[in-house]
Structures are given as C-alpha cells and as structure tokens.
Amino acid sequence: MPDTEIAFIGLGIMGLPMAVNLVRAGYTVTGHNLTPERVDALVAEGGRRGGGVTGAVTGADVVITMVPDSPDVEELLLGPGGVYENAKPGTLVIDMSTIRPDVSRAVAEAGAERGLRVLDAPVSGGEAGAVEAKLSIMVGGVQADFEAARPIFDVLGTTPVLVGPNGAGQTVKAANQLIVAGNIQLLAEALVFLEAHGVDTESGLEVLGGGLAGSTVLQRKGRAMRERDFTPGFRIALHDKDMRIVTDSARAAGVAIPLGAQVAQSVAALKNQGHGGLDHSALLMIVQQLSGRS
C-alpha cells in the first residue's frame, strides 16, 4: 500500500519505533503525541508532524492509535476534536493500545456508525519487538478490515492473527499479560532463590534457558533482572492496568485465576510503593522484600 497515508497517534516507548518502521517501509506517516519531543524523533526519521489530532488525521487513509489506557482511547477517538470527528468515511482505525475488551467493542460500534472501519490490534513483544518489527498482533474485527490492514501489520510484526470480532484481540492480549506477569514472577522467585544459595546466576540462567524453563521472558529480562536494571520497557503502571483487565474479565466470565490474582496483587503493591515507572521485571523487588533480602 505505498500510497497509503497513515496517522500515528501516541509515540511512546512502543508507538515511536512502530511509526519509524512504517516510515522505513515507505509509508507517509504523520505523527501526533502529547509531548512534542517524540514527534521530533519521528520527523528526524522522515515522518511528518501532525501538530494535533486534526492535523494528523485529516486526509489519512489509516489511523493508528497507541496510547496508554481505555479512557485515553475513548477520549482520543470519540472526544471533541478527536479522531472520529476528523477521519474521512472509510478510514481504517486501528487501535493498538491495550485496553478493556468492552471499550474496544464500544468504540468499534461508534466508528461503524460513522462509516469507519475499526480494529482492535494490541501487540506483544515489548519495546524490542517494536524496534525489531517482531510484534505479535492480536486482532479483533472483521476479515475484510484485517486483510486491508495486513500489509501494515506485516511491517510491524511477524505474527498478525485475526482472533475474532471486535474486542477479541483485547481478550487474547489480556491472556498474554496474565502469562507474562506469571512468567516474570516465577523468574524473579528463581533468581532470588539462586542468589540465596550463592549460585552464579549468569550460568544458572544460561542453562535454564536451554531447557523447559526457558522462555522469551527469561531471554529478554533475565540479564537486566540479575543486574537490577529496571529501566522500562513495560512500565509497572501499565501492567497494573492490564492485570485489572485480566482479573475483571476473569471474574466476569466466572474463571478462577488464583496465580494471576496473586501476581496482580504484587504488581499493584509495586505501583502503590511509587514504582509505577519501573519495568515490570521489578516484580523481583517484591520477592526480595518478602524474603527479607534487600
């Protein structure tokens, strides 16, 4: 889709490298972000400056949003001066933020009423996945819109999958966040356990990584956790938001998630201690505290 004009709103840890990858693939990308320095970074890579939602969206064929939370998406899409007010009929609106499934369904319905084609397309793979264009993309919507968006998804990631109607992408993403949080928690416990036994954790993690205990979490977070480098990455505040989505959705469906509920408590505790800006691998700090090890 070389002639496709893309508006990209939300140029944070994930959005900026994703937008840059679209520029490098030859798309015309007009960016907008609350803090203008992130737009400067996109412009330096060949993108355009939207100067606001209206400037970014007017004339765009595709609008991608990548903002933190459900209220941000609602405000950005439905609010006064927002995307829906400015987008031309037929525009493909792809929300790649991680938000509540019911909100994704509601904004898709509101979009359809205005003649817009809306997909929820949350991602997994972290900052590295965004930079390396290796994201998993979990898409909710209709097949024709998924096919229309597919060339864009192919630039951003390796595994775009249509998993069901609007909202289904977010439900799969919630499951993803449940698995990731549990993985990090157990890796943190294993690390503190190894340290307490005086085992060299570098070689310990190396061999664990080659067996059934190996995981993408271990590969991507192991070294930083050993070194206590909790630079985000994925902020605890965002994972707290996601664990709320997971626990609410599980309760609504009558599903017990005892382990997930417990990890959700640790994520919330970390945030309440003022560590919401750290990477989610900082769950290790809670394990240390509980173990009386500083």
| 19 interacts with ligand NAD by CB under 6 A | no
Minimum Å gap between C-beta 233 and ligand NAD is: 6
# residues near ligand NAD by CB under 6 A: 26
Upper half-sphere CA count for residue 249 (Cβ side, 13 Å):
22
In the window 50-109, what residues touch ligand NAD (CB under 6 A)? Answer: 66-68, 72, 76, 97-98
Q: Which of 173, 221, 241, 271 is catalytic?
A: 173
Positive or negative, the CA dihedral 122, 281, 181, 217 is positive
What is the rounded CA–CA span in Å between residue 130 and residue 8?
14
| 120 interacts with ligand NAD by CB under 6 A | no
| 10 interacts with ligand NAD by CB under 6 A | yes
What is the rounded CA–CA span in Å between residue 104 and residue 84?
14
Q: Which residues contact 40 (CB under 8 A, 6 or more apart)?
A: none
Burial class of 150 by CB neighbour count within 10 A (0 to 12, 13 to 18, 19+): middle
Name the residue with the smallest CB distance to ligand NAD: 12
| 170 interacts with ligand NAD by CB under 6 A | no
173 is catalytic: yes
Minimum Å gap between C-beta 84 and ligand NAD is: 13
Q: Which residues contact 4 (CB under 8 A, 6 or more apart)?
A: 27, 28, 61, 62, 151, 152
Minimum Å gap between C-beta 194 and ligand NAD is: 26
Which of 172, 238 has the CB closer to ligand NAD? 238
Minimum Å gap between C-beta 98 and ligand NAD is: 4
Question: CA torsion 88→94→99→100, rounded to 10°?
Answer: 70
| 276 interacts with ligand NAD by CB under 6 A | no
| 123 interacts with ligand NAD by CB under 6 A | yes
Phi first, then psi: give them for residue 29, nearest 5 degrees. Answer: -120, 120
Phi first, then psi: give them for residue 219, nearest 5 degrees. Answer: -60, -45
Which of 201, 281 has the CB closer to ligand NAD? 281
Q: Which residues contact 274 (CB under 8 A, 6 or more apart)?
A: none
What is the rounded CA–CA span in Å between residue 291 and residue 294?
9
DSSP 235: B
| 224 interacts with ligand NAD by CB under 6 A | no
| 281 interacts with ligand NAD by CB under 6 A | no
Build a one-symbol-per-residue string for 233-262: x at contacts with ligand NAD by CB under 6 A, - elsewhere.
xx---x------------------------
What is the rounded CA–CA span in Å between residue 260 and residue 186?
12
Interface with ligand NAD by CB under 6 A: which range of 13-21, 164-172, 208-216, 281-289? 13-21
Minimum Å gap between C-beta 76 and ligand NAD is: 4
Residues classed as catalytic: 173
Q: Which residues bind ligand NAD (CB under 6 A)?
A: 9-15, 32-35, 38, 66-68, 72, 76, 97-98, 123-124, 126-127, 233-234, 238
